[in-house]
Structure 1
Amino acid sequence: MRIIVVGGEGTIGRAVVAALSSGRHEIITAGRTSGALRVDIESADSVQQMFRQVGPFDALVSAAGNARFGSLETMTEDELVRGVHGKLLGQIRLVLLGRSYVREGGSFTLTSGYLLNDPIPGTVTFAVANGGIEGFVRASALEFGQRIRINAVSPGMAEDSAEHFGHLNPGRLPTPMRTIGAAYARGVEGFRTGEIIPAW
């Protein structure tokens, strides 16, 4: 398969690439500042340019998109919108523009996260974005049918990020990178659609 991994050189993206790099796939990494191709998922023009460069593909994994940490006490509407714009709308944009390039029977695998189901203080924008992604996946699967599969992976606190985020998650065990990578491989190489795949 020809697979695009957006955010392929980030913490989650590297686990995805490792899980899919056994010689049976052609992997194309893309990112804002790293990867084989440059793409800003907050820009429709940038996303469209990436798809024009790649051409037809079999699967796309999105391990990209940022939300914003911040207290609800002081959050403004504009800050909330900016906070979810990258992670939620950016990933939806990949699907909306990529559906014209994905081959019949191809797939999209997006990223939500544990902060929807088990939030911590300061993560309202993450919870909103993750909930939007999961709703989009479930509803889109009904319309795509088996022509295009779409799933999302919900990673826990990644082992490789625990040093930075562990103090914000007391009592939470880090999720091994191999477990996270395997969840994305299930989305790409499996048969289900409309599924939220936990990797906790």
Structure 2
Amino acid sequence: MKILLIGYTGLLGSVLKKELEKKHKVIGASRHNADVEVDITDTESIKQMYKEVGKVDAVISATGAAHFGSLNEMTPELNDISIDSKLKGQVNLVLLGMEYINDGGSFTLTTGVIMDYPIFEGASSALANGGVKAFAKSAAAEAPRGIRINTVSPNVFEESPDQLKAYFPGFKPVPLKRVALEYIKSVEGIQTGQSYEIY
């Protein structure tokens, strides 16, 4: 398969790239240092990325910025960080990429554990994650040409910095290689409208 992996220079993306390249041709997209550059908060940038890459069998989004901060100090502008990137950015990857996906191809978007299990200062990120999950489930039901749409919702990673893990007291971190299996399941499998949760 020809797979477009967005966010491939990140912690998750770099592991996905390594695992997927065992069987597939992977094109990496990121803000910098990638096969093709993209800013998912900019619709024109997304359009240009798809034009450069052309037809693909699968699109994986392993990206999306989100705001973390206390509710008392959150402003609409800070909340927009999560909405514009993690939520709208990923939704737009589907809306603008539909014509570039081959028949029977797939989109796999990324959410996260805090949409189901809240953490302190995580309300904005949880909002974006939950919205992505709801969109993917509904959109999958009417996607044309056998196109599948799924999400992967990981826990905090074993490989994440200790500073990040501190936000997840009592959560059992998961190894990135285990998380990668869910993306492979989404790309190579037959299910659609699924949220693959690794908690």
User: TM-score normalized by structure 1?
Assistant: 0.95
Could you say which residue in structure 2 is the equivalent of 1:51? Answer: 50
Once residues 146 and 63 of structure 2 are traced to their aligned partners in structure 1, the CA distance between those partners, rounded to angstroms, is 24
Could you say which residue in structure 2 is the equivalent of 1:185? Answer: 184
Q: How does 1:31-50 map to 2 (within 5 A)?
A: 31-50=30-49
Could you say which residue in structure 2 is the equivalent of 1:109? Answer: 108
Could you say which residue in structure 1 is the equivalent of 2:25? Answer: 26
User: For residues 46-71 of structure 1, what are the alpha-carbon distances to aligned partners after superposition, in whole Å with 9 as ceiling and x for unaligned?
Assistant: 11111000100000000011010111
Letter in 2 for 1:4: L
1:120–1:168 Cα contact (<8 Å) kept: yes
Once residues 29 and 65 of structure 1 are traced to their aligned partners in structure 2, the CA distance between those partners, rounded to angstroms, is 15
Q: How does 1:112-131 map to 2 (within 5 A)?
A: 112-131=111-130
Once residues 13 and 198 of structure 2 are traced to their aligned partners in structure 1, the CA distance between those partners, rounded to angstroms, is 14
Q: How does 1:1-200 map to 2 (within 5 A)?
A: 1-22=1-22, 24-144=23-143, 147-200=146-199
Once residues 145 and 189 of structure 2 are traced to their aligned partners in structure 1, the CA distance between those partners, rounded to angstroms, is 12
Gaps of 5+ in 1: none
Gaps of 5+ in 2: none
Letter in 1 for 2:151: A
Tell me the C-alpha RMSD between the 2 structures: 1.2
Once residues 69 and 187 of structure 2 are traced to their aligned partners in structure 1, the CA distance between those partners, rounded to angstroms, is 33
Runs (4+) of structure 1 moved beyond 3 Å? Answer: none
Once residues 80 and 10 of structure 2 are traced to their aligned partners in structure 1, the CA distance between those partners, rounded to angstroms, is 24
1:42–1:89 Cα contact (<8 Å) kept: yes
2:65–2:81 Cα contact (<8 Å) kept: no
How many Å apart are 1:85 and its aligned residue? 1.1
Once residues 28 and 82 of structure 1 are traced to their aligned partners in structure 2, the CA distance between those partners, rounded to angstroms, is 26
Aligned length: 199
